Structure 1
Amino acid sequence: MLTSKQRAILRKEANTLIPVFQIGKGEIDDALVKATNDCLAARELIKLKVLENSEYSTKEAAALLAEKTNSDSVQVIGGKFVLYKQKDKESKYADM
């Protein structure tokens, strides 16, 4: 669980990120969860976009993916959301 101060730092860092995945008509399946996990392992902080034709709202998609990837939802704004999962070793955000 992130504190409000940690969340603010991560929101600042995520401001310039480009969404790495788009969630559309299809469900949030195992392939998307695996790809998201791999991306989180490499980057720690990622931004995702939920398209208008998705069956999920942005909040629902963020909560579902955060739960399935054991990550934290940092921010949900408009059609985009940010996930964070700290690396085990040499985290960029370890001093938060």
Structure 2
Amino acid sequence: MLTGKQKRFLRSEAHHLDPIFQVGKGGVNEHMVVQIGEALEKRELLKVSILSNNEDDKHEVAEALAKGAKAELVQLIGHTVVLYKESINNKRIELPVKR
């Protein structure tokens, strides 16, 4: 579980990133979740765009992505989801210490 300070830090790190996945009309599926999990292992932090033709609630989509990829939901702003998962082999992001 991330603290508020850690989430603020991750939001600032994610600000310059572009979404690398899109959730469209088909919604969240197993294949997409696996790909997002693999991308998180390489990058640790990424953005996912929810397209306007997606009929699901954006909050449900964000939760499904986070739960499926075993990641932390950092932020849902507009139709963009920011996810974080600490990498096992490619650790790059050093989070602020919990107090």
**Cα–Cα, structure 1 residues 84 and 27, in superposed 2: closer, same or farther, change >3 Å?**
same
Can you give the 5+ residue segments of structure 1 that lack an aligned partner in the other structure?
none
Correspondence 1:2-81 to 2 at 5 A: 2-81=2-81
- Give the % identical residues: 39
User: What is aligned with 2:82?
Assistant: 82
Aligned residue for 2:63, secondary structure, equals helix
Displacement, 1:90? 5.2
Can you give the 5+ residue segments of structure 2 that lack an aligned partner in the other structure?
none
Give the residue type in structure 2 aligned to 1:11.
R
Task: Give TM-score, length-normalised by structure 2.
Answer: 0.90
Give the residue type in structure 2 aligned to 1:94.
E
Question: Greater relative contact order (Cα 8 A, min sep 6): structure 1 or 2?
Answer: 2
Displacement, 1:27? 2.7
**Cα–Cα, structure 1 residues 56 and 19, in superposed 2: closer, same or farther, change >3 Å?**
same
Aligned residue for 1:33, secondary structure, equals helix
Aligned residue for 2:5, secondary structure, equals helix
Displacement, 1:58? 2.1
- CA RMSD in angstroms comes to 1.2
d(CA) in 2 for partners of 1:24, 1:39: 18
Structure 1 stretches of 4+ with a deviation exceeding 6 A read none
Is 1:50–1:57's contact at 8 Å kept on the other side of the alignment? Answer: no
Task: Give TM-score, length-normalised by structure 1.
Answer: 0.93
Give the residue type in structure 1 aligned to 2:69.
T
Aligned residue for 1:5, secondary structure, equals helix
